Structure 1
């Protein structure tokens, strides 16, 4: 994933599944435990305080990241859909990271597919041991999913 990591070093992606009927919500977790793609947030990351302004930088469209992660994981084309209403900022020692979200466009959760990629789909409650920045991202993502 080094090519994606280099190209999108200032962006991360959360992947989730939401059942249309049951509202079952699951988040993708990589083998190393992180819920961020293509790689974990740096150590000492924290949510950017809402009062702080994000430095002006060229805005990257999240679909480019979604497509790159999907290709790198060798997922079927069209499986991941960009979640347009989600954008959060993480303060890191190396600068601000923008986090986007994408949804698995399937009727049933793609457990087998993600397991074959070294990942798992887990409910929010089973991800409690993650670092504080990831937990807050998950909380905000879950809130966004439930409101949509």
Structure 2
């Protein structure tokens, strides 16, 4: 089992991308946040790549995926860490690193996430989220459409 404090300085975006339709959706918690397992603190803002700070100790994204699988009681083969997506967010408590995991399913996991008090949402449905989350979603969408 992974360290229960793994998410003190890390978060995950959970997304779905249809291989045929290119439909992109993000999981949203009941509290409205798209960051798992916890929302970003108020007054958070994304850093530009040239502003990223070097971290001495890093957690591999797959360890974060394993922890989310445990927390949400998901099968271990439903999510895969997306290589190349790593964003840093400046928060009042320090830098938080955000990674992304992709659902490896043919269809969006609507019922699966509803059973966990979450919903799958498209970008237009997520409008109005805090600016840091909206920028994370924009960057994630860009990464998925380019990759």
Report the TM-score, using the length of structure 2 for normalisation.
0.94
Cα deviation code 1:86-144 (max 9, x no counterpart): 00000011110000000000011110010000000000111011000000000000000
Determine whether 1:56 maps to 2:67. no
In the alignment of these two chains, the number of paired residues is 146
Which residues of 2 match residues 1-148 of structure 1 at below 5 A? 6-148=5-147
SS at 2:11 equivalent: strand
Asked if the contact 1:90/1:99 (under 8 Å) is kept, the reply is yes
- For the aligned residue pairs, the C-alpha RMSD in angstroms reads 1.5
Do the aligned partners of 1:111 and 1:121 also contact (CA within 8 Å) in 2?
yes
> Equivalent residue of 2:139, what SS?
helix
Q: Output the CA distance in 1 between the equivalents of 2:130 and 2:69.
A: 25
Q: Is the 8 A contact 1:34 1:130 kept in 2?
A: yes
User: 1:5 deviation in Å?
Assistant: 6.4
Shift of 1:8: 1.7
- Asked if the contact 2:69/2:75 (under 8 Å) is kept, the reply is yes
Q: Following TM superposition, where does structure 1 have runs of at least 4 consecutive aligned residues deviating by more than 6 angstroms?
A: none
Cα distance, 1:35 vs. partner? 0.1
Structure (1/2) with the larger strand percentage: 2
Give the whole-Å Cα distance in 1 for the aligned partners of 2:31 and 2:4: 16
Q: Which 5+ residue runs of structure 2 have no aligned equivalent?
A: none
Tell me how far apart the structure 1 counterparts of residues 57 and 33 of structure 2 sit (CA, whole Å).
26
